Structure 1
Amino acid sequence: MKKYSLFFLMIIAYSCTNDTFSDGIKLESKLAVEGWIEEGDVPQVILSSTIPINDVVDSTNVLDHVIRSAKITVSDGETTEVLRVKSDDNRVPPFIYFGSEITGKAGKTYTLKIEYLNRIVEATTCIPKSVLLTTAAYKKNNAADTTGYVFIKFDDPVNEKNYYQIATRIDKQEPIFVPAFYGNLDDEKFNSNSIAMQVNKGILLFPKTKFKPYFTDGDLIFVKLRTMNKEAYDFWNSWQNEIVNSRNPIYPSNTSLKTNIKGGVGIWAGYGQSTILVQTPPKK
């Protein structure tokens, strides 16, 4: 069975530079959080500890840093619930905390509190209003090609500040939505409120296969347009910049990925969302 990971945060040494490690200083591991709540869905959190930069990073070592016994509490200001943990063999790491009482709603604020051993980690986020993804279509450069790209259209609301992330998931191949390459968008850079753009397939770290930015005939593709706040945009944009600048995003070379986690590293994000299913031609 294939297992998938986006980055994951436990393998990122956020506050460290090359100079720090050349001096032989051993830094204390931090709690690493990847948490989110989408409009219409429950809160979910993946929790781990950071791996020292000089350690071997693979799917086996990652398991040693997974945290399954933390108390994770989410509140929307009215309801407070403690998340439960479950296994998910399609992911690396294969454990995720999830809720059942709280459902994401646009305009609401959500607080996260993590208690583990003698540590407390906290964060706050909100869910922006969703923006409708109006069309998504699979197109090829030539009819004889067996590969192509997805092209989408949406209207950026006038007189509103919005940050976006485009993500895709290939049915029966990917159990998670993967942020598209160059898929983090700030509407300040739009020339028009009518947006039409190509979507490039995103990068997964596990399994370690050659990156291909295109889609293939036979793929059933879910395309998602997420809205997010500035903190989430800054986090994902810093991740994107590591990849674009040919750095290893597992080990940011001279910089730290952005974070909104107090007492730890990572991201706690609320997302609005709109999703369209794209059917490609059958494989020949």
Structure 2
Amino acid sequence: MKKYIVFLFAVIVISCSKDEFSEQIRLESKIVVEGWIEEGDFANVLLSSSIPVTDVIDSTNVLNHVIRSAKITVSDGETFEVLKVKNDKNRVPPFVYYGNMIKGEAGKEYSIKIEYLNRIVEAVTTIPKSVQLKSADYVKKNATDTIGYVFVKFDDPADEKNYYQIATRIDSEEPIFVPAFYGNLDDKNFETSSVSVQINRGVILFPKTKFTPYFADGDLISVKLRTQNKEVLDFWNSWQNEIVNSRNPIYPSNTSLKSNIKGGIGIWAGYGQSTLVVKTPPKK
């Protein structure tokens, strides 16, 4: 299976202006967190240290910055669980901290505490109530095309404030759900409660093949509608802005990425979720 660095939080490069350059490279690297817990599932955390702007960015250097020996504790306020770490060869970096005791529930608050060397990193998140996908369909512009997009439909609860993220995963190609490009949604922008959205494939770092924003015949696509809170939406919007502005998500144009991590950088997110599988025509 192809290996990918899926999100920014395998690595964050510290960027700086010329005037700040000498001082910046002397700063201590930061602990970078990408952690999440979904309704009906257990916690997952990717952990690394930030990479100075002077370093070469490749898969080998990324592995040198992975943190494999931290103590990560997740709690729902009643139960405390220390996450285990496993080697997942389908990912780069291949190390994932995971839980198997505390399962995500809508409406609950979840804290995370990371202890590494002399540092402590903490964050808190909540899981919003899930909103169910009504449908997800693979649509081509022309019948003879071998590529297309996915359209999803769902009903936004009129009496609730909701923030959404749509993510996709192609079976046998992607080991994790990838946020769709422009797939972070605030329901204040919906004209009606009946929502129909085109899904553009999300950006993958270090892909084995050239990135394309569409899907193709032969793909088996899992589509996930996540509900998230405002601070998680703000993080993913800032991450998306870096991609748009710099055109290279490995090198942020500035250090404006939002974060809810105390003592580090990154995101600890709680998600409600609804998933559908989309089958495309066989590849010719």
Report the TM-score range of the alignment, normalised by the length of the smaller protein: over 0.9
Q: Note if 1:59 corresponds to 2:59.
A: yes
SS at match of 1:237: helix
User: Once the 2 structures are TM-superposed, how far is the Cα of residue 24 of structure 1 from its aligned partner?
Assistant: 5.0
CA distance in 2: counterparts of 1:12 and 1:18, whole angstroms: 16
CA distance in 1: counterparts of 2:19 and 2:10, whole angstroms: 19
CA distance in 1: counterparts of 2:208 and 2:241, whole angstroms: 20
CA distance in 2: counterparts of 1:54 and 1:21, whole angstroms: 13
Q: Is the CA contact (8 Å cut-off) linking 2:8 and 2:249 kept in structure 1?
A: no
Q: Is the CA contact (8 Å cut-off) linking 1:7 and 1:250 kept in structure 2?
A: no
Could you tell me which residue of structure 2 aligns to residue 189 of structure 1? Answer: 189
Q: Is the CA contact (8 Å cut-off) linking 1:130 and 1:226 kept in structure 2?
A: yes
TM-score relative to the length of structure 2:
0.96
Q: Note if 1:72 corresponds to 2:63.
A: no
CA distance in 2: counterparts of 1:116 and 1:84, whole angstroms: 14
Could you tell me which residue of structure 2 aligns to residue 22 of structure 1? Answer: 21
Please report the RMSD computed on the Cα atoms of aligned residues, expressed in angstroms.
Answer: 1.4
Show the 5 A alignment for 1:124-143: 124-143=124-143
Stretch moving more, 239-248 or 185-194 = 239-248
TM-score relative to the length of structure 1:
0.96
Runs of 5+ consecutive residues of structure 1 not aligned to the other structure: none
Q: Is the CA contact (8 Å cut-off) linking 1:39 and 1:273 kept in structure 2?
A: yes
Q: Is the CA contact (8 Å cut-off) linking 2:10 and 2:46 kept in structure 1?
A: no
Show the 5 A alignment for 1:128-277: 128-207=128-207, 209-277=209-277
User: Once the 2 structures are TM-superposed, how far is the Cα of residue 21 of structure 1 from its aligned partner?
Assistant: 4.5
Give the partner amino acid of 1:17: C
Alpha carbons of structure 1 residues 62 and 20: separation in structure 2 relative to 1, 3 Å: farther
Number of residues of Structure 1 aligned to a counterpart in Structure 2: 283
Identity over aligned pairs, percent: 71
Give the partner amino acid of 2:202: G
CA distance in 2: counterparts of 1:246 and 1:57, whole angstroms: 16
CA distance in 2: counterparts of 1:163 and 1:101, whole angstroms: 27
Could you tell me which residue of structure 1 aligns to residue 85 of structure 2? Answer: 85
Give the partner amino acid of 1:188: K
